Homo-oligomer: A and B are copies of this chain.
């Protein structure tokens, strides 16, 4: 209770319990029955450990052991529901499997991503899940050099298994929904605008594919200037729309909740013209359904993706495997 400087070790407890350190170790890690220690000794040791506020030194324990049970995850940001949910569920799933989850946030900075991966490996993580990494292959290379399994989530790599949303299908469905609602609510049919993201990103590219395919299937041509993927930030979304003042019906496909902020900001500046605009967003936020003009959002299946990812742990798959997890479309109004 009253140790002030050093922490209690099994040696301290051994002295107090009049037993050997190895006995204490066996009691405290639960192998004492296997090692045929008496229930009496075990009880005594456990009582003393409790009294002394003992906590095992994982450093020492892991050094000796073979398995660490640590699973690492890197996420870019905690600033939206999607990554927040990923982190939270990751921890839950890991614990449920008796593993120790360590999540670290890398601010979308490629170097920080790499450093974080190295740190997690230094901590003997047995598996590393890279979420939304800007350069997943660099991380997988390092992991495989260190003999650590790695898995990509949300963004695909080429070297290790990747679990990602079916962005194309989700975008296709969302585009169809917006087109439908434009027709239904506004009696109008025409090419939507695609706002937000970067075309170089895999996810944006896949979503644009779905967007274009839906238009094609409806026999609508998409003019080049309707693809406005100049970045993810709210500001850049607001900027690309700034001089678009529709004098008739219009529809917008928004590529992320961050961009959605910018779109809604723009939308509010339209005054009465706003009623002639319909939009939908790829990504989900609980406040989305309250935004006027928003006809639907695509929610990525976080549990589904993580479940898949966890199923890979300990079962190395063929390098390039790509698992697509379907999204869920929320329709509003």
- Show the binding face of A for B, using Cβ within 8 Å: 1-8, 52-53, 55-60, 62-63, 68, 77-81, 83-85, 87-88, 91-92, 100-105, 107, 118-119, 121-124, 142, 145-147, 234, 261, 264, 268, 285-288, 290-292
Cβ of A60 and Cβ of B63 under 8 Å apart? Answer: yes
Cβ of B291 and Cβ of A146 under 8 Å apart? Answer: no
Instruction: Report the copy number of this chain in the oligomer.
Output: 2
Interface residues of A, dominant DSSP = mixed
**A329 CB → nearest B CB, Å:** 20
List B contacts of A122 (CB < 8 A): 55-58
The CA of A55 and the CA of B115, in the complex, are separated in Å by: 11
The CA of A234 and the CA of B6, in the complex, are separated in Å by: 47
26 A-B pairs within 8 Å (CB atoms) are namely A1-B145, A2-B145, A4-B147, A6-B147, A52-B145, A56-B122, A57-B122, A57-B124, A58-B59, A58-B122, A59-B62, A59-B63, A59-B68, A77-B88, A78-B78, A78-B85, A79-B85, A79-B88, A87-B105, A100-B119, A101-B104, A234-B286, A261-B286, A264-B290, A268-B290, A287-B291
